C-alpha cells in the first residue's frame, strides 16, 4: 500500500481557505468587496471579538437570486466571469469565486438576501461538515 491519498473536499477547501483568509480581517475584506461588486451604496459592518465571534456585513446591493444561493457557496462559483478572456473587461474586486467557499469552510455562515424582483427574501445557514 502506498502512502499517497487524495485529500477530501473539506480539507481541500480548508487549505484553500488559509490562502484567502489568514485572519478574520481578510473575511471582512472579502465580504465588503462582494458588497461593492454588488453595487451597494451603503455597507454596515459589525465585528465582535476582533471578528472571531462575529463578522456581520449588511449591504443594499443587488442581492442574490434564489437559484444562485446554494451555488454561491461552492468553490470557483462566480457570477463575475465566464472565461479567462473576460478578465480583460472585468472591473470587479473579486472573480475567483473562492471567498464564500473559504469562509464557509472555517465558520458558520448565515446569508440573508433578497433581490428587488423578489417579494420575499431567503435566509440560509451554511457550515462545513
CA dist 9 and 125 (Å) reads 19
34 binds Mg ion per the rule CB under 5 A? yes
Is residue 13 a contact residue for ligand ADP (CB under 6 A)?
no
Give the H or E element holding residue 30. Answer: helix 24-37
83-108 as b/e, with b when 16 or more CB fall inside 10 Å? eeeeeeeeeeebeebbbbbbbbbbbe
> Rounded distance, CA 128 to CA 109, Å?
9
Backbone angles phi, psi at 73, to 5 degrees: -90, -5
**Whole-number Å distance between alpha carbons of 81 and 90:** 7
Comparing CB distances to ligand ADP, the nearer of 78 and 105 is: 78
Of residues 6 and 32, the one with the C-beta less far from ligand ADP: 32
Residue 32 in contact with ligand ADP, rule: CB under 6 A: no
**Which residue is listed with cell 487549505?**
15
Nearest distance from C-beta of residue 51 to ligand ADP, angstroms: 17
The only residue of 77, 106, 109, 128 in contact with ligand ADP, by rule CB under 6 A: 77
Kindly indicate which of the ranges 9-17, 44-52, 94-102, 121-129 contains the residues binding ligand ADP, using the contact rule CB under 6 A: 94-102
Which one of 11-19, 27-35, 44-52, 119-127 is the stretch in contact with ligand ADP (CB under 6 A)? 27-35
Q: Which stretches of the chain bind ligand ADP, using CB under 6 A? A: 30, 34-35, 37-38, 59, 61-64, 72, 77-80, 94-101
Q: Which stretches of the chain bind Mg ion, using CB under 5 A? A: 34, 94, 99
Amino acid at each position: 500500500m502506498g502512502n499517497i491519498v487524495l485529500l477530501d473536499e473539506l480539507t481541500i477547501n480548508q487549505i484553500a481557505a488559509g490562502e484567502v483568509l489568514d485572519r478574520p480581517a481578510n473575511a471582512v475584506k472579502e465580504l465588503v468587496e462582494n458588497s461593492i461588486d454588488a453595487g451597494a451604496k451603503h455597507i454596515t459592518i459589525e465585528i465582535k471579538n476582533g471578528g472571531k465571534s462575529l463578522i456581520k456585513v449588511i449591504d443594499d446591493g443587488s442581492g442574490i437570486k434564489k437559484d444562485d444561493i446554494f451555488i454561491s457557496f461552492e468553490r470557483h462559483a462566480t457570477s463575475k466571469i465566464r472565461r479567462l478572456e473576460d478578465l480583460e473587461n472585468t472591473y470587479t474586486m473579486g472573480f475567483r469565486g473562492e471567498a464564500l467557499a473559504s469562509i464557509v469552510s472555517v465558520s458558520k455562515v448565515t446569508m440573508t438576501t433578497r433581490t428587488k424582483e423578489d417579494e420575499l427574501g431567503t435566509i440560509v445557514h451554511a457550515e462545513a461538515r
